[in-house]
Structure 1
Amino acid sequence: MKKLLNQLFENYTLNEDEAYQIMVDISESKYSDIELASFLTVFNMRNITLDELKGYRRALLDLCLKVNLPKQALDIVGTGGDGKDTFNISTLSAFVIAGTGEKVIKQGNYGASSVSGSSNMLEQFGYQFSSEEAKLNQEYEEVGLTFLHAPLFHPALKKVANLRRELGVKTFFNLMGPLVNPVQPDFQNLGTFDVKTARLYHYVMQNSGNNYAISTALAGYDEISLTSPTKVYTNQGEFLYQSEDFGLETIQADQIAGGKTVDENAKIFLSVLQNESTKAQKEVVLANSALGLKTIHPTKDLKECVAIANESLASKKAFEIFQKLTNR
């Protein structure tokens, strides 16, 4: 690692196979926490390259615990690390989308640089993480939504989980999470914190054979925020969406801020699902849900998708999905 670090400090970039092997070595605990922290710091000082991203991703998918679930489902997930500390928008959107009758296989993790990741939120409500194939398939069939807690499926991610929490800043592992759902479902909604990363994702995903939408709000959010235009890359091309494209209003950043604790975020979470949140909180969830629905049904209009998502909340179907999943 010492030799590698010296090379990286001199702006050396890894080829895909080198990146692959490093991720394998991380999973086998070949590096100390100090070495890993130094290694992670490099990628906060420069952008990750496409070859590096592809190598890390290929290794994580090869190393992951394989689980046999149907691929006819959507994953909706963001990188995190945007520093915006919003409430759990993509996790809520997963329940809204499942409430419309679509299948969702969401991968998530604890927050590393934010108060509350998707795993924090579901754990708060008593959901038991599992890698048991029978349980996950039952949730898929009977609930319509199942959740994959990333450390249970990715040994390399588990190895660095504590270190990431201690560092408290985004690392390139934030970039990896959305790309390495073990199921690799047919439909993927991936949020990134900047346009450069969104483009990298686009290059990685365009040969995947999956329907995807990669979004980044120009105000720096890793999802549609309705505070600014959102750049979106899909199989069909590149788009710049304004709030009015969803039939929704532009909002202010403080209107979608999360709480200071997991408990405070949980209260916001429930208020949205029970259709009792503020208008801004509801609409930002509707916008992200709509993009997810459009990923599954590309010919549908965004405003039509917003209406479908709104019905999921208004009818309490999204809340019913949540209750089924967390009360099992």
Structure 2
Amino acid sequence: MKQLLTNLFEHRKLSRETARQILIDISEARYNDAQIASFITVYLMRAITVDELQGFRDALLELCLPVDLEGRETVDMVGTGGDGKNTFNITTASAFLVAGAGYQVTKHGNYGVSSFCGSSNVLEKLGYRFTNDAEVLKRQLDRANICFFHAPLFHPAMKTVAPVRRSLGVKTFFNMLGPLVNPAQPKYQLFGVFNLQLARLYQYLLQQSEKSFAVVFALDGYDEVSLTGPFQWRTRQGEAILEPADLGLAEYHADELSGGHSITDAAAIFLGLLQGKGTPAQKDVVVANAGATIRAMYPDRSWENCLAEAR
């Protein structure tokens, strides 16, 4: 690791294969916490390359517990997190709208690291029991059109990194990786990212896959369609800058999307939305992201039709 860190500190880049092997070595506890923290910190000081991101993704997919859904075509909508905006669980709530619209959703998520309440926190608070039993997950999918993949159950090799990530308490390249390593590798996916550079990386990487995808980045820093201003929309077909008005929706202030101050607050907002409650801002932003997910699946459909279906 010493030579590797020296090379990285000298601004050298990793090949895809080297990046893959390093993450495998980390998962096998070949490095101590200080070495892992130093390695992670490199990517807080410089941008990750496409080869490095691909290599890290290769390792996590190689090490993960896969889920065979026996031909079911599913969708995932997931943000990288790390945007520091303290919103309520917008993407998780939108997943239930998409499921209600008749699409099968395999939601991949985790506890919050750089925020206090990730998707796993809110679902656990409401009594959902995490499982990696494929038969149980398939039954949930067939009965409710949605199941949840709690990342630690499918990526056990990453337990060596979890304490370091918690101690750092900031977004790391693992935030970038999470959306790319859904164990089901769904056919359709909406990705939310926290900066423009990562949006470009994702688009480039995903264009090499057969996935139908969209990458969204709100220009004021949200990793979702926030309706607080314009957002960038990237797909296989190209890119565009869209305003809330282009979706026929109002523009809202950041404080209207707050997730509160605790997991209890976030769970109350989430449950209220599932019960048809919530403020106009909360309802609209969830509809916007559900509609965006459907648009990612079917790029030839109009925004108007996708949003109507989400409602």
Give the shorter-chain TM-score range: over 0.9
| Matches of 1:80 and 1:247, distance apart in 2 | 26
**2:196 corresponds to:** 195
Q: Any residues of structure 2 matched to 1:200-215 within 5 Å, and which?
A: 200-215=201-216
| Matches of 1:67 and 1:199, distance apart in 2 | 29
Give the deviation of 1:165 after TM superposition.
1.6
Partner SS state of residue 203, structure 1:
helix
Q: Any residues of structure 2 matched to 1:54-133 within 5 Å, and which?
A: 54-69=54-69, 70-133=71-134
Give the deviation of 1:71 after TM superposition.
4.4
Q: Which amino acid aligns with 2:203?
A: H
Q: Any residues of structure 2 matched to 1:220-231 within 5 Å, and which?
A: 220-231=221-232
Q: What TM-score comes out, normalization by structure 2 length?
A: 0.97
Partner SS state of residue 161, structure 2:
helix
Percent of aligned pairs sharing the same letter: 51
Task: Establish whether residue 23 from structure 1 lines up as the match of residue 45 from structure 2.
Answer: no
**2:302 corresponds to:** 301
Higher mean displacement: 209-218 or 289-298: 289-298
Higher mean displacement: 298-307 or 36-45: 298-307
**1:317 corresponds to:** none
| Matches of 1:184 and 1:159, distance apart in 2 | 23
Q: Which amino acid aligns with 2:16?
A: E
Q: Which amino acid aligns with 1:19?
A: A
Q: Which amino acid aligns with 1:164?
A: R
Partner SS state of residue 215, structure 1:
strand
**1:166 corresponds to:** 167
> Are the counterparts in 2 of residues 71 and 186 from structure 1 also a CA contact under 8 Å?
no
Give the deviation of 1:159 after TM superposition.
2.2
Q: Which amino acid aligns with 2:180?
A: L
Q: Which amino acid aligns with 1:11?
A: H
| Matches of 2:44 and 2:107, distance apart in 1 | 27
Partner SS state of residue 22, structure 2:
helix
Partner SS state of residue 43, structure 1:
helix
> Are the counterparts in 2 of residues 19 and 56 from structure 1 also a CA contact under 8 Å?
yes
* Stretches of structure 1 lacking an aligned partner (at least 5 in a row): 311-328
Task: Establish whether residue 37 from structure 1 lines up as the match of residue 41 from structure 2.
Answer: no
* Stretches of structure 2 lacking an aligned partner (at least 5 in a row): none
> Are the counterparts in 2 of residues 150 and 157 from structure 1 also a CA contact under 8 Å?
no
**2:236 corresponds to:** 235
Q: Which amino acid aligns with 1:55?
A: G
| Matches of 2:199 and 2:256, distance apart in 1 | 25
CA deviation vs aligned residue, 1:111-138 (integer Å, no higher than 9, x gap): 0000100111111111111111110111
Report how many aligned residue pairs link the two structures.
Answer: 310
